[in-house]
Amino acid sequence: MKNQGLGDWIARRRIKSEGETAIIWSGGTYTFDQYADRVARLAQVLADRGLAKRDRLVYLGNNHPDFLTTFFACGLLGAIFVPLNTRLAPRELEYMIEDSGAVFLVTHESVRDLARAAAWSTGIRKRLVVDGEADLPAVESVDEAMSTTPPFELDVEVSLDDPAMILYTSGTTGRPKGAVLTHGNLTWNVLNAIVDYDVTREEVAMMMSPMFHVAALSMGALPTLLKGGAVVLHERFDAGDVLHAIEEHGITSLSGVPTTFQFLAEDPAWNTTDLSSIRKLTCGGSAMPLRVIEAYEARGLAFSSGYGMTEASPGATSLPVSKARDHAGTSGLAHFFTDVRVVGEDGTEMPVGEPGEIQISGPNVIREYWRRPEATAEARDGEWFRTGDIGRLDEDGYLTVTDRLKDMIISGGENVYPAEIEQLVMEMPEVRSVAVIGVPDDRWGEVPLAIVAIHEGTQVTPEDVLGHVRGRVAKYKLPRAAVLVDDLPRTASGKVRKVELRERFRSLPDRAPES
């Protein structure tokens, strides 16, 4: 039997890169041989405690070497890695843990209380803590467990078709869905990144965005490690710390969302930091403000951009720096091993320049949502995945994304789905109807605004609405304001006209406008 999955990557890379640096973090460094040993020992720890092929393991923590250690260890066992967003509320995390059917939890000490709040009522009985001490019989320290455990030597058969990860992504129903990424999906995405972003063995790539989002993991850390480069892990984003690390470690590549790049350019150390080692910047998530682009151009730097989503592992298109001027405003060409098309309502491909739904196909695109056959069927059009986004292709094949069918809000690089917030607000007996839209924000790109109509004869304040939602969702999802209106504009079929609301509410109002 042979492990063809990602779990064996570090052991294979060790042969070619023994003694070379693999991981750099606040606690020191790991060479490839040191790190391969750590991955193998953790795999044995997990196997000794009953984790088996296709079992689900939840990881709750920010960027840390043992995020990746756990990911690769799961790959050696054929288990399924389920990373969760540390910014979510306990009730949101609890749902994902239950839905995944996870049997094991690995958490970082810094979010230990959050893990307890989220998992105490679930079926998880086996837990490990990173950078922390054991305090209960069911909770063990990762380092203590590995110190007495030999490296993993079993040979578990893992194919490219086997599931490697479940990543939860919300949708229009308001209930998160688990996108099942196979070892093959991730492998092909990594190959796309290596080809289209010229990842090299000399790479020193900083992960300043959280790896529980697939872009940092699959477009940054995994391609770099596969090529034998070094990954620098930044646990929590701090602009000053990132700028210091760029100079200290000679960072060659940096990826993030517009908000993080904006924070870097606004930091007091921006103008005095030596950025000469950087040879590429990649940005995704939303459009980059012109003033941020100009700030980087003034330092001799330019961005590669792209379009993608979790279900594509996540890359769909890329726009290299060399084409950025000639094709400004586009998201670039389809990745090397991926295809993109734009179709009309009848499913036929649209002529050049005409808008339609963006669909993607390729070995990096998921086959299914976890235990959601109806959602899977709805998202598929034969071999094509329906993105729910609107765009157009030019005569050279460059994609321009123009709108979203799903009304998703991107706030600081995080996806906010209005339906989830709307469901919570509708729990209030005084509320007759509600719509949540995104409004422009200089710092976060967009922020949510709740527009609420209440029943006649009832009394509710905007703060009442916000208070009802506060603490039940992640802070970035909380509407920045609520406004009360007499009624919401609707189509003949009764659907809320969110386009009209976006025209009316172009910013966060100081008070509710007159109806």
Q: Enumerate residues 6+ apart whose C-beta is below 8 A from 15.
A: none
Place 98 in a pLDDT band, splitting at 50, 70 and 90: very high
Q: Are the C-beta atoms of residues 412 and 406 closer than 8 Å to each other?
A: no
Q: Above 90 in pLDDT, residue 2?
A: no
| Residue-level pLDDT at 423 | 83
Tokens, residue 507: 């910013």
Share of the chain above pLDDT 70, in %: 96
| Residue-level pLDDT at 96 | 96
Q: Give the residue-averaged pLDDT of 296-314.
A: 94
Place 257 in a pLDDT band, splitting at 50, 70 and 90: confident
| Residue-level pLDDT at 80 | 98
Place 512 in a pLDDT band, splitting at 50, 70 and 90: very low
| Residue-level pLDDT at 1 | 56
Higher-pLDDT residue of 308 and 405 is 308
Q: Above 80 in pLDDT, residue 514?
A: no
Burial class (CB in 10 A: 0-12, 13-18, 19+), 241: middle
- Tell me which fold the domain 409-504 belongs to: GMP Synthetase; Chain A, domain 3 (3.30.300)
Q: Give the residue-averaged pLDDT of 218-240.
A: 97
* C-beta neighbour count of 512 within 10 angstroms: 15
| Residue-level pLDDT at 513 | 40
Give 27-50 pLDDT, tens digit per residue: 999 999 999 999 999 999 999 999
Place 322 in a pLDDT band, splitting at 50, 70 and 90: confident
| Residue-level pLDDT at 173 | 55
The phi and psi torsions of 253 (rounded to 5 degrees) equal -140, 145
CA distance 169 to 311: 9
Which strands make up the sheet holding 315-319, listed edge to edge? Answer: 28-31, 21-25, 230-233, 204-207, 253-256, 280-283, 303-308, 315-319, 333-334
Pick the most confident of 79-83, 355-359, 488-492: 79-83
- Tell me which fold the domain 1-16+28-159 belongs to: Rossmann fold (3.40.50)
**Residue where the block lists tokens 């009832």:** 458
Give 55-84 pLDDT, tens digit per residue: 999 999 999 999 999 999 999 999 999 999
Place 338 in a pLDDT band, splitting at 50, 70 and 90: very high
Q: Above 80 in pLDDT, residue 273?
A: yes
Domain boundaries, the chain: 1-16+28-159, 409-504
Helix or strand holding residue 279 (H, E): none
| Residue-level pLDDT at 454 | 94
Tokens, residue 166: 């479940």
Q: Give the residue-averaged pLDDT of 379-399.
A: 94
CA distance 443 to 165: 32
Averaged pLDDT score across all residues of the chain: 92
Q: Above 80 in pLDDT, residue 442?
A: yes
| Residue-level pLDDT at 387 | 94
Q: Give the residue-averaged pLDDT of 109-122.
A: 92
| Residue-level pLDDT at 194 | 97
Helix or strand holding residue 410 (H, E): strand 409-411
Tokens, residue 429: 């007996």
CA separation, residue 375 to residues 176, 347, 484 (Å): 11, 18, 34
Amino acid at 177: K
